[in-house]
């Protein structure tokens, strides 16, 4: 059974720097796979300063503020090469970038995304937060049976080539949710967003504990 070989925490890192480092690891993994060399399955954790990213199939109309005003708010803006629409990253949000060779795990892209969702669903369950999947809406949601109350707590967007992955998921832990008012999150105009802190009604959720639980859930889910 394939295991996750390397877990790295980049801490708080500018988005552009993380993107460049990811791309290097992604390309390295593809090259090693092409040459039939052994690869490491890498799991990267980090947080970003305020940034909005638009996926390759995203709609720019889902950005609700001119780019110049974003700069005045110290919010960066990037068009990137993942699937999905628009999302926000910022302090208090746990971002996870798996650089996995899916062939090593014996799974395809659809199952991979389902496993990412399952990691978060189980993690939130540890905190007593009931979550699930919503039809035709990638990510992890709360109150999925009540459309008017449904809200996203974790966004997922990936890129893959030769079944090697990059990008990943973003879990709102202690995120300042007011920044989501700058966009239609993931292209949804009628759905809300939430965070673990908001759902638990606490001052702050311990990020290090969340990280440790998440790593454990990755090991568990990807060993199944």
Instruction: Give the pLDDT of residue 187.
Output: 47
Active site residues: 186
Instruction: Give the pLDDT of residue 56.
Output: 81
Q: Residue 84 CA to chain centroid, in angstroms?
A: 11
pLDDT tier for residue 108 given thresholds of 50, 70 and 90: very high
Q: Looking at the domain covering 6-222, what would its CATH class be?
A: alpha beta
Q: Distance between CA atoms of 25 and 49, rounded to whole angstroms?
A: 22
Is the pLDDT higher at 64 or at 22? 22
**DSSP-derived 3-state class of residue 51:** strand
Are 219 and 4 in contact by the 8 Å Cβ rule? The answer is yes
Residue with tokens 């967003």: 193
Is the pLDDT higher at 190 or at 68? 68
In the predicted structure, residue 189 carries a pLDDT above the cut 90? no
Instruction: Give the pLDDT of residue 195.
Output: 97
Edge-first strand order for the sheet with 76-79 is 76-79, 51-54, 86-89
Is the pLDDT higher at 145 or at 125? 125
pTM greater than 0.85 (yes/no) = yes
pLDDT digits (tens, 9 = 90+) for 197-215: 999 999 999 999 999 999 9
- Taking Cα atoms as reference points, which of 168, 85, 173 lies closest to residue 124? 173
Per DSSP, what are the bridge partners of residue 77?
Answer: 52
């Amino acid at each position: 059974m394939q295991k996750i070989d390397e877990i790295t925490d980049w801490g708080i890192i500018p988005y552009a720097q993380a993107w460049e480092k990811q791309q290097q690891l992604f390309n390295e993994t593809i090259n090693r796979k092409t040459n039939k060399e052994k690869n490491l399955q890498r799991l990267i954790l980090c947080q970003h300063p305020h940034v909005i990213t638009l996926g390759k199939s995203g709609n720019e109309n889902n950005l609700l503020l001119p780019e110049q005003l974003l700069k005045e708010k110290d919010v960066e803006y990037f068009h990137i090469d993942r699937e999905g629409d628009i999302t926000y990253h910022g302090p208090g949000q746990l971002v996870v970038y798996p650089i996995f060779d899916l062939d090593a795990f014996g799974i395809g892209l659809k199952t991979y995304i389902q496993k990412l969702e399952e990691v978060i669903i189980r993690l939130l369950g540890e905190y007593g937060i009931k979550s699930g999947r919503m039809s035709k809406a990638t990510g992890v949601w709360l109150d999925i049976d009540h459309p008017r109350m449904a809200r996203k707590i974790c966004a997922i967007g990936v890129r893959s080539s030769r079944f090697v992955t990059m990008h990943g998921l973003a879990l709102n832990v202690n995120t300042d949710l007011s920044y989501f008012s700058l966009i239609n999150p993931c292209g949804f105009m009628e759905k809300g967003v939430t965070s673990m802190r908001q759902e638990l009604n606490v001052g702050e959720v311990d990020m290090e504990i969340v990280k440790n639980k998440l790593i454990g859930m990755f090991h568990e889910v990807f060993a199944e």
